[in-house]
Structure 1
Amino acid sequence: MLLLSLLLLASDLVSARGAIGKRSVVSSPSPFQAASSLTPSSHVLSLTSQKSAKGYNARSAAHLLHHRSSPGNVPISTHSTGLLSLIEGEEFATNITFGTQTFEVIVDTGSSDTWLAESGFQCVNITNAAPLSEADCYFGPTFDVDETFSQIPGENFNITYGDGEFLTGIMGYENVTLAGIEVRQEVALVNYAAWEGDSTTSGLVGLAYPSLTSAYNGTNPSNDTVQEVYSPIFKTMYTQNLTAPLFSLAILRDVSGPSGYLALGGTPPVDFVEDFTSTPILITTITGYPKTYGFYTIKVDSIELGKSSLAGGTYIVDSGTTLNYVPTPVANAINRAFSPPAVYNEDEGANVVDCKAKAPTLGIKIAGTVFYINPLDMILLAGTDAKGNDICISGVVDGGNDPSEDVYILGDVFQKNVVSVFDIGATEMKFAAREYYPSNDPY
């Protein structure tokens, strides 16, 4: 991943990883095309390495209910794995083991494939697929295929993410360990990549439903038409009775270092208000996707801005996206409410805001409960300018104004304020509020 200093984005919506971390809502297979028009899409260009991370605790912890007992019907997990904050807290990764080799991978609830970059892969330009050096894709260590991997003949991997990055490769089975649970799992090895990495992660673990998997019949990605749906890693685990059919995330707002947990089968080892609000997971109705469970889609009652209630709607809960994507009038109202206001810059594709601005009071109302967003999460450090001054952007971005086509997302800006339980067995999302907790977020 190119390090951040100045946000220069290629489309109308802020959605690239790096400044805002959009790598989740996948499009149809198209390794030589840009992002799907169904999803927010852009990419980061011309970024330098100067950062500003002051590393102090911006807030002290308020009163916390200590996490000692099972909250309601959600058990405490015995299989948790830590999250690592990358790119100023805009991306979160965890350890995964393929065979005997361990890697950092992005944790993504907005896609379903688990994959690693294979040693010797071809890196290409995201815009025109021109060949680049491996280093230009900014992966961490790559996977050396060993005897435990077994390729599936007649299948290939082919995915395009919402920010335009695309990958192709082979499908196969490998012994995979995540959070202490080992399974024989169908995975992808990437041998052709247009990727804007972070120099740490080597791939991704997708935790959404099987309908979003990206294996296809045949060996030529240019001819892919028949999807070969398979069991994602977490489904493999719970169908083998290795864990309960739910997982949870506690994403912290630290801009570097250890920053929360992914917990399989229960809740993570963090403090939170043990009072869950539940809401059904909805069948995906986005044009071009199967009418079945795919994304973790929920109904939002309303967006609470100060004393005003703004329109709600259908949102995807996505750990692979940093910002919250909301309808155009909602985004405009929220960004006007900063003091001084956040101002949209067409060249940069973001609502730029004074790093010391006062953020508005913002809450997301779900199933009758309002979950407030900490002001620290409303202003994101996006790097520095040529003079070394910090550049900040709003945590809320325009997701479009057509609910039948546009995708609205509750990203990490929201999820840093809750424990999110993805209860596949009950077909429900459950949320419990986090109290203020210490972090090294400078704003």
Structure 2
Amino acid sequence: MRSSLLALLSVGVPPSIGRLLHATRHGLVADTVTSNAVPMRKHLVSPSSHRSSATTPVYRRTAAVNRPANLTNVHDVYYIIDLIVGNQTLAVSVDTGSSDTWFVSDPLECVRFWWQGPEYKPNCGLAEGFIGNLSGGVLDNPPFVRAYMDGTFVSGYYGFDDVTIGSITAKHQRVGVVNYTFWAGDGLTSGLLGLGDDQGQSGGEVSKQEESYLALGGLPPVEVDEQSWARTKIHGVDAIPEWMFEQSDLGLYIIKPDSWVYGRETEDIDPNPAEKGSLAPNELTTNTTQFPVLIDVGATLSLLPKGLVQQLYAAFDPPAKYLSTNGLFFALCNATVPKFGVNIGGNTFYFAPDDLLRQTARDPSGDYCRIGVTDVNGGPYVLGVSFLTSVVAVFDIENTEMRFASRTKY
């Protein structure tokens, strides 16, 4: 996990004031647009490509944890940013669900995994790596090793160098240099910018308008609904029981939403909705079940409990259906998209229709589009890019809270 370039601190204000305030040494001030807003490149992955994620652990269901799974791309979009290390510019993917910033070195050893036969020629699909030596030296111990949930791993060493994002340079930053890996990328990135917190480190905001921004020390230059600002606590990693942590250490951006809202809103009332086996128009349902959710800009899809997601699928008109060839739920690309929102801090933030039914991710026939929310049994649960594109999300480390506002133009 990386050292902080800047972390925000905030306190509550009455809802009628609009924008939330945050505390500084000079008193209470409103969040303001920062000049340190770096555009992120949005990369659309071909829906037919098959790869493990080059940007984030893929939250994948398998029949047995010790059995290799078919690595199918379920992430059709991720974000790329330029990271300057010393005097070299490296393209890396942005990930709030991962804590380490790392990049590959040149030379690099790319290896095959145990289920791939000896005839398999590994191709990690990584862009040009770092050449030469880090200006701040290296650490012999501990080694840098990370394994991800899709079976990929990186291995190398820690070192120190100046790191620049946009106009901000952080001196003598600890980074991971990878010289040995099993990976499956698409040749565009050479590493990962991990914005998960470690000992109070790394902060920013992520949003998307005509382009997306990583903003440090303030808000990105996008329009938001000032009355929609809401805050919620960041919980420790022990909030997700599946991870089996005994201590409540902070490390990732885990929140507990108040409720979930889903259903249809149309002008025409269907007198016999039961005949279609789905929800009636104008019927919005609120699910008040609370569970921890990881905020992760490195995940395209949002992963939520099976019961909740199945109700969302039924609310499409016609209802969504499972396609065995893709292993996910799809709906007709011209289907009526229901409303789906998450209530955080008393305000409901709705997914954009284009993110609920992703027109860029189609089945081979071209008639069905993938839904941006998928179901998992037992978690961990994730709010990914399909949610984050319609909001501004503030990752406030010092005050251990997140703040959200709805975008007015999207």
- TM-score computed with the length of structure 2 as normaliser: 0.74
Aligned to 1:277: 230
Q: Is 1:193 matched up with 2:181?
A: yes
Query: What is the CA deviation profile of residues 380-418 of structure 1, one whole-angstrom value per residue up to 9, with x for unaligned ones?
Result: 24556666x365211110121x3xxx2111111110110
Q: Is 1:86 matched up with 2:43?
A: yes
- Alpha-carbon distance in structure 1 between the residues aligned to 2:383 and 2:364: 32
- Alpha-carbon distance in structure 1 between the residues aligned to 2:191 and 2:117: 21
**CA distance 1:312–1:382, shift in 2 (3 Å):** farther
Shift of residue 162, structure 1, vs aligned partner? 2.9
**CA distance 1:349–1:125, shift in 2 (3 Å):** farther
- Alpha-carbon distance in structure 1 between the residues aligned to 2:381 and 2:148: 16
Aligned to 1:421: 394
Identity of counterpart residues, as a percentage?
A: 33
SS of match in other structure, 2:256: strand
- Alpha-carbon distance in structure 2 between the residues aligned to 1:433 and 1:386: 34
- Alpha-carbon distance in structure 2 between the residues aligned to 1:207 and 1:288: 22
Query: What is the CA deviation profile of residues 237-270 of structure 1, one whole-angstrom value per residue up to 9, with x for unaligned ones?
Result: xxxxxxxxx4211134x7xxxx210011111111
Shift of residue 129, structure 1, vs aligned partner? 6.5
Shift of residue 81, structure 1, vs aligned partner? 1.0
Count of aligned residue pairs for this structure pair: 329
Query: What is the CA deviation profile of residues 193-216 of structure 1, one whole-angstrom value per residue up to 9, with x for unaligned ones?
Result: 2222132111111111217xxxxx
Aligned residue identity for 1:165: T
Q: Is the 8 A contact 2:136 2:172 kept in 1?
A: no
Query: What is the CA deviation profile of residues 66-97 of structure 1, one whole-angstrom value per residue up to 9, with x for unaligned ones?
Result: x9x99963232232211100125610111101
> Residue 120 of structure 1: which of 89, 93, 107 is its match?
107
Q: Is 1:369 matched up with 2:343?
A: no
- Alpha-carbon distance in structure 2 between the residues aligned to 1:147 and 1:308: 55
- Alpha-carbon distance in structure 2 between the residues aligned to 1:189 and 1:126: 21
Aligned to 1:357: 335
Aligned to 2:197: 209
Aligned to 1:267: 219
Aligned to 1:408: 381
Superposition pairs for residues 137-156 of structure 1, below 5 Å? Answer: 137-146=124-133, 148=135, 150-156=137-143
> Residue 170 of structure 1: which of 157, 173, 194 is its match?
157
Shift of residue 333, structure 1, vs aligned partner? 0.6
SS of match in other structure, 2:259: strand
Shift of residue 362, structure 1, vs aligned partner? 0.8
Unpaired segments of 5 or more residues in structure 2?
A: 2-18, 23-27, 46-75, 264-283
**CA distance 1:155–1:390, shift in 2 (3 Å):** farther
**CA distance 1:172–1:436, shift in 2 (3 Å):** same
- Alpha-carbon distance in structure 2 between the residues aligned to 1:384 and 1:112: 32
Aligned to 2:313: 335
Q: Is 1:293 matched up with 2:250?
A: yes
**CA distance 1:432–1:383, shift in 2 (3 Å):** closer
Superposition pairs for residues 16-55 of structure 1, below 5 Å? Answer: none
After the TM superposition, which of the residue ranges 317-326 and 289-298 deviates more from structure 2? 289-298
Aligned to 2:11: none
